[in-house]
Each structure stands twice: as structure tokens, then as C-alpha cells.
Amino acid sequence: MTDLLPKALRNRETTKIVYADEGFTKNLDLDSNDRVLILSSPFHFKSGAIHKLVSEITPRLSKIIYGITPNPTSKEIIRIIRESQPTNWDVLIALGGGSVIDTAKIVSMFCNQSGLNTDLDLFNPEFEFKNARTCRLIAIPTTVGTGSEVTQFATIWDEVAKRKHSLLSSHMYPDIAILDPALLELLPFDLALYSCLDATAHCMETLWNKNRTSKSEALAISGLRIIDKNLFAFSERIWNKEIAGQLQIAAVFGGLAISISRTAISHSISYPLTSRLGIPHGLAVGFTLAAIYESLDCEEIEFVKSRLLLDSVIFQLKDIDLRRHIMRYASTSQILDLVDEMSASDRAKNFIKSINPEIIISILDKSLHS
């Protein structure tokens, strides 16, 4: 399995990527006196993963906050920051999916700041993390999609305006990302599919992106090659440790790619679907990929490299029938009502063709009726 993860990635200066052949607890690299804060979700408390982690770090001083839910809001993140104080933590361990890791990135910036300013406004456009993080951050992803374990941004949601915000700082890269596919074996099948769709979108969005570079393109193609070999699992309803491990690595490639290029049109379409209709992010960002690719004309297709690989991935995505999954959450009319909001996102501007509501309607129509 480790041969899928090039040495150059395992030794990056920004985030050290470790493939946990012997389990994630064997790769924590903690000092004997480290004070450890653990952030996770209720699922991992029930699964026993948190208990396994705690038993490994004992007798070090530790605190566990495991109430993190999908799509964390600013209010929830500030509550967790306050709950973590006044102890000055040496290490923050994030065990979970993208929401847990994104929350941990923000919380880690305040690990050694007692008496949090009650006026902290994470939505303020002038807000920035001016100081370097003083605690180490270890990310242990338990899904196969977000790539948050290797990126420099974190997503928070505005529960009032129903909008997504991204915070960006070079200080938010995790110090270590530990990939342990054994943690993913109990992942519900649909959640595994939706997180894989997220990784697929990150790779594809890099290739049809105005900001793409030769480096981001190479990373995206590496991720898509792994995804292409494993997508059959979702049409045949197979899920195991080996497939999970390979897709974890694909997610790393996708995360590294979008850290360069940023995301584009499928993400722009997805944001209101998640914030207003509750459609899981991976599904919301993945169900339009085929229609977006097929909307490109000849000149734009030439802009996108590795077409045979993309054609193969698109064929498999169609075979999964994502329309059926979308219809569990919302009707066609509910989705189409959000077109103006979908086209207004800055992410839409990264797409290689100009976007307007008519193009988005065409993409949605094809995605919802094919």
C-alpha cells in the first residue's frame, strides 16, 4: 500500500504524511510530558477509536471534546475554543472527517491564548491568524474525501446567512497526517461513497481550473488514477480496508491539488445544496461532475489533460446513479431555486469557461434527469 504514497509526499515540509501500517496510535510521536487535546465526533466515541487513543496517551494530561458535528458553525467553533481553555495544550489531535479536522485547525490557533475575546468574529473579512500556531496539530482522517489533513484552509458555515466561509492561513497546515485505513472499515457505505466523490471532485476541479499548474495537474492525475481503479466498489457495494486505504491516498493527492488551484464550479453549485437543503457535501459536489465535463466544448476539452482517464472515471460515476441519492434529500424544483446563489460564488470564477445561471441550469438539468 505504501508504494502508492511517493516518498516526496511522505517527507513534505508542510505536513508530514504517515501511512500507519501498525495502526494510528503507533505514529503519534508524543513527548512524555505533552498535554494533549483531542477533538472528534460522537461516531468515534461509539466506535471505540477515542478510547483506543486515550489508552495510548495515558498518563499524559488530556481532554476530549467529541461533540463536533458536520458543517461546523462559527458559534460552535468558538464554543469549542472556550471549552478547551484555560489549559495550554502542546498537541491537538483531530480524529475524524473534514469537519473535525477543519474545526481543529481553527481551535489549534488558540490553544495557548487564555481569555478568548468575546468579540471574536471569524466571518470578518479582515480576520486573519497573525501569529504562528504554538501547539502541534496531528490530523487523523476517518473519511476518504476532504484532503483537509494536507491543506491550509478550514471551512466554517454561517447558520444565519446559510453560507460557507473558508479561512486561509499557512499556519493551519497540520504537522502530521496519519493515514490508517483500519479506522474506515466501519464507515457507513453511503458516507464512504460521498467522501470519495469529494476527493474525485477535488481532482477533476483541478484539471478544469484556470489556476491549475503543472504540479497541481500531476497531483490530480495521480489521485484520479487511484480513484479510477477503485470506483467499481461503489456500484458493486463493496467496502473494505484495502479499498479504503487506497482512496485515503487519493484524497491526499486531491487535497494537495486544490491547495494550489482551489476548487471551481461543482463546489460553487454544492454550497447552497448543503447549507440550505442539507445534502451531504460529497454528494452535492459530486453529482454534477459528469454533466460539467460533458458541457465543455472542443477548445475547452483540449485544456483538460488525461481525457481517457477522465472518460473512465465519468463512465463509472454514471454507473453509480447519483441522481437517486440526490432525490432522497431534495426535489428538482428545490435545487433549481438555488441557481442564482450557485453562480454567485467566487469558486465559479475558477472554472475554465464563463459561468452564468443558464449554464448552471443546463448542468443541473442533465444531472437530475440523466
CATH code of the domain containing 156: 3.40.50.1970
Distance, in Å, from the CA atom of 257 to the CA atom of 261, rounded to the nearest integer, reads 6
203 shares its domain with 171: no
Distance, in Å, from the CA atom of 101 to the CA atom of 68, rounded to the nearest integer, reads 10
62 shares its domain with 144: yes
50 shares its domain with 161: yes
Read off the C-alpha cell for 87. 489549559
How many helices, marked H, and strands, marked E, lie in the chain? 18, 8
282 shares its domain with 362: yes
33 shares its domain with 148: yes
The Cα angle at residue 148 between residues 213 and 220, in degrees rounded to 5 = 30
Sign of the C-alpha dihedral, residues 182, 109, 33, 176?
positive
320 shares its domain with 334: yes
Beta strands, E only, the chain: 16-19, 36-39, 62-65, 91-96, 136-141, 153-158, 163-168, 176-179
Residue 289: the pLDDT is 97
First to last CA, the chain: 36
Count how many domains the chain has. Answer: 2
Among candidate residues 166, 182, 198, the one where a domain is terminated? 182
196 shares its domain with 169: no
Distance, in Å, from the CA atom of 200 to the CA atom of 23, rounded to the nearest integer, reads 26
- Contact predicate 278/226, CB 8 Å: no
Among candidate residues 182, 197, 223, the one where a domain is terminated? 182
Provide the pairing of β-strand 16-19 with 163-168.
Answer: unpaired
Query: Average pLDDT for consecutive 10-residue bins of the chain (370 residues)?
Result: 58 79 87 95 90 92 90 90 88 96 93 66 70 90 94 88 84 94 92 97 95 94 97 95 95 96 95 95 97 86 81 95 96 96 89 92 92
pTM check: above 0.75: yes
Residue 126: the pLDDT is 60
211 shares its domain with 350: yes
Residue 142: the pLDDT is 95
135 shares its domain with 227: no
210 shares its domain with 150: no
CATH number of the domain where residue 336 is located? 1.20.1090.10
* Nearest partner of 287 among 345, 327, 247, judged by Cα: 327
* Nearest partner of 184 among 167, 172, 200, 196, judged by Cα: 196
DSSP states of 356-370: -HHHHHHHHHHHHH-
290 shares its domain with 320: yes
138 shares its domain with 209: no
Residue 220: the pLDDT is 95
In our burial notation (b when 16+ CB lie closer than 10 A, e otherwise), range 102-111 reads bbbbbbbbbb
Among candidate residues 125, 154, 182, the one where a domain is terminated? 182
* Nearest partner of 195 among 158, 239, 259, judged by Cα: 239
Give me the domain span that covers residue 263: 188-369
Residue 297: the pLDDT is 84
Residues 6+ apart with CB under 8 A from 274: 71, 164, 280, 281, 284
- Contact predicate 57/28, CB 8 Å: yes
As a dihedral over the C-alpha atoms of residue 15, residue 16, residue 20, residue 26, rounded to 10 degrees, the angle is -110
